[in-house]
Structures are given as C-alpha cells and as structure tokens.
Structure 1
Amino acid sequence: MGRRPMIQRETVARAAIEIVDADGPAALSLERIATKLGVKAPSLYNHFSDKTEILAEAARAIVLETPGHGDVVDGDWVSWLIDGAVAFRNTLLTHARAVPLVVENFPRRLLERLYAQHCRVLDENGVPVERQMFIVESVHRMTIGSAMCLATGRPAMAAPADPDQFDAAVLATLTSGDWNDDRLFVEMMRAFLVGTGASEG
C-alpha cells in the first residue's frame, strides 16, 4: 500500500488560510506556508505551479465552506437566494482578512457551476430566462461588496463624522441603532430582488 503524500493540495490551502486569518494577506509567502507544514518551500512546486495557484486553491476552500441552504419553499425563490447569500457572506466573514484574497482569486469554474445551478432553480420557479443571470450576478456582487465593506472596517449606517451635513430626520436614522450590517444586507437584497419585477405573478 502506497504512502500518503506528505503534502496535499488541501493541506497547503488550509495552511495558507490559517496564515491569512492570523496575520493578513501580506504575511503569506511560500516560505511561511512551508514552515507551517514542516517542509521546504521548493517542495510546494510539486503540487502547485506558483503562489497564484495556491491562492486560488485557498479561495476555493473558503468558498466551499459555505453550507447548503436547502430547496425553494412555496416558490419563494427570493428568500432562497437571500438565505444562500447570507450563508456565503457569513463564510467570507469567518475569514474576514482573507476576503480580498477570495475576491481576487475566485475560482471561475466553481463560480460558473454555482451560477448555472442558481439559474436552473430560478427557471424552475418561473423567473424569466432573460433576468436570471442579471439576478444571480447582481446577488453575487452585492454579497462580495457587503463582505468587503465589513471586512475592511467600514460598518453600515454608522454615525457620521460631520453630522451637520445631514437633515435631522436622516441623522436620527443613522444614530438610532436600528440598523446594522446584517439587517442592511438582508433588506438591501430583498429590495433589489423584489424590485427586479421577476417575482411578480
């Protein structure tokens, strides 16, 4: 029986994620990964052509952590899409320091498979074909954008630095505490999806 290789692609990807989670993307290097795994840096080239390929594998591993979110219930594809987007956003924010890495190295084939799956679900639930990719791509971009804002320290609906610029009523909404990033994301998504008109009977 053959020996299991000391280095595996998923092990390297996981080591890269752990380094970025702890110290940010700037800390990631082949030498740091190799040290973490107890091997020499050149041995990584037996499994990856370069650092870019390791980043892509790490991004893929993070994306695949997103849990499934079941089937559409009673034709409510809007809630189904929102639930999936929330799950993906939560996964990204579990690795907040790695969000830029995922954005820059998002595995294209995996993304295309997810898009195709989502289009099939929308089609099964009566969404016009000409709106399907528009909706799916927009949801993906809003999810990534929301995660990037929060991961880089830009909270939603925060009290302004210069409150005199705002009408008193608007300022009251900003300082009420009624809004946070999670609520803003869900309500933004729902407003967009209902506003597409694709959910009308």
Structure 2
Amino acid sequence: MPRPSKPLISRHSTVQAALEIIDSEGLEALSLPRLARHMNVKAPSLYHHFSDKSEILAAVAREIVAKTVQPRKPTDGDWQGWFVQLSLNFRTAVLRHRRAAPILLEFLPRELLTTSYEDVCTFLIACEVPVSVHVLLLDGLEKLSLGSTIAEAMRPTQQRRVAFPHIDPERHPHLLAAQEANDLTPRQVFEQTVRSYLVGMERLVQVARLQRTA
C-alpha cells in the first residue's frame, strides 16, 4: 500500500489533540492509546514524533507558555507596568487550559523562557535597571506568577471566586470578615499582588542605582 502524500499526524496536531483531551476529560485521561484513538491513528504512529508521553507533555507545556502575548515595550521606561501586563497575559494563557496547568510544574519550557528572559534583560538595561537585580526580579516574578496561576487553575469551579472556601464562621470569624470585605476578583487580586512585588523591587532598584554611583 503506498504511503499517503501527507503524514497522518504531525507534532503540532498531536499537541493540539492532547490539549483537547486534557481540556475536556482531564490530565489523567491522557494516554498514548487514548491520544491515538482521538487522532484516528495507531499508537505506534505517535513514536515517529515523540519518544514517550513525557515528551508530549513537555510539548504541551511549551504550547501553553508560547501563547503568552508579549506586551509592546514602553518608550517611557515603565518596566513595572510592562511586567504587570506580561504577568496578566501569562495568567490568561495558562487559564485557557486549566486542567493542563499542573504540567507546568514538571515541564516548564526553560529553553523558551531563557530566550525570552534574554530579551527582557536587554529591556531592563535600556530602562537603567541595574543588572545586579535582574535575577531577583525575573526569578521572583516567575515563581509568583507560576505558583499563583497554577493554584488558581486547580481550584474547583464553585470555589474560583472565593479565596478561602473552607471557612467555619464560628472558628474563623476574622478571616470570614476579611473575605466578605474583599471586593476584588481573582484577576484583580493577582494583579495587585504582582504590583506589590514590583513596588518592593523598585526600592531595591533605587538602592542598587545609588550603590552603582557611589
């Protein structure tokens, strides 16, 4: 039997199919046989593009992160505002695939982030942010954005707008009052958390600038 003129599957179509399964059925539903059935191919065909399931999951993680929209670099040196928007865009990209979010804990695409971070460091230098604080800024924002977003993604649907879903009014009256007083959405809480971190970083930047000129 002659081979088809076009391959039945590709890396891209396999990743998209894996995401479809995860989005609709959950991460635990993804297996090579299940993926092959979804694509209407034989399971061994997947090995032409991926060595195992882990490689597929790594590609899925890369696809999710790659969809993060890069904000336009400001011309006024507002690196804090740029980072806020970048963090919000990352959150949006991950929450499009809530059930796939835990994959990022094991398969965060470091090679993709490294290339992006090189560009960010160039931007920070142009904004006169001392090199001595670049790692702290990038590493801290990565942990903050990644941890916060994955935690939010894994919350059950009915608990997504509640910060502390297991409050007992009798045992936790002050926490209950605090939660009832909060009028921010999860997105707004995330944004304000990032802004607060950047306020602290701005102070360190000012100190580093003084030390550099001393």
Same fold (TM over 0.5): yes
Deviations 1:111-170 (A, max 9, x none): 2112222222112111111111111111111111111121111645346612445575x6
Deviation for aligned residue 1:42:
0.6
Amino acid aligned to 2:180: T
2:46 & 2:165 partners in 1: Cα distance? Answer: 48
Aligned length: 199
Q: Distance in 1 between matches of 2:164 and 2:52?
A: 41
Whole-Å separation in 2 of the counterparts to 1:73 and 1:183:
25
After TM superposition, the structure 1 = structure 2 runs for residues 26-105 of structure 1, keeping only pairs within 5 Å, are 26-105=28-107
AA of the residue aligned to 1:183: Q
CA positional deviation for 1:65: 1.4
> Is 2:131 aligned against 1:116?
no
Larger radius of gyration: 2
**Residue 178 of structure 1: which of 154, 175, 183 is its match?**
183
Is 1:161 matched up with 2:167?
A: yes
More deviation in 79-88 or 171-180? 171-180
RMSD of aligned alpha carbons: 2.1
Deviation at 1:69, TM superposition (A): 1.1
Q: CA deviation at 1:72?
A: 2.1
Q: 1:54 and 1:172, CA in 2 relative to 1: closer, same or farther beyond 3 A?
A: same
Q: Are the counterparts in 2 of residues 15 and 37 from structure 1 also a CA contact under 8 Å? A: yes
Task: Assess, with a 3 A threshold, how the Cα gap between structure 1 residues 53 and 195 changes in structure 2: closer, same or farther.
Answer: same
1:195 is matched by which residue type in structure 2? Answer: G
How many Å separate the matches in 2 of 1:61 and 1:194? 31
3-state secondary structure, aligned to 2:102: helix
Q: Which is further off, 96-105 or 2-11?
A: 2-11
The answer on whether the counterparts of 2:19 and 2:60 sit within 8 Å (CA) in structure 1 is: yes
Structure 1 stretches of 5 or more lacking a match? none
Distance 1:73 1:164 in 2: 53
Shift of 1:12: 0.4
Structure 1 residue ranges, 4+ long, deviating more than 3 angstroms after superposition: 154-160, 163-168, 170-173, 198-201
Q: What residue identity is the alignment partner of 1:99?
A: A
CA contact (8 A) 1:115 1:133 kept: no
Distance in structure 1 (CA, Å) of the matches to 2:145 and 2:130: 22
Q: Secondary structure at the match of 1:127?
A: coil
Map of 2:212 onto structure 1: none
Per-residue CA distance 1:13-45 (angstroms, 9 max, x = gap): 111111111111100000111111111001111
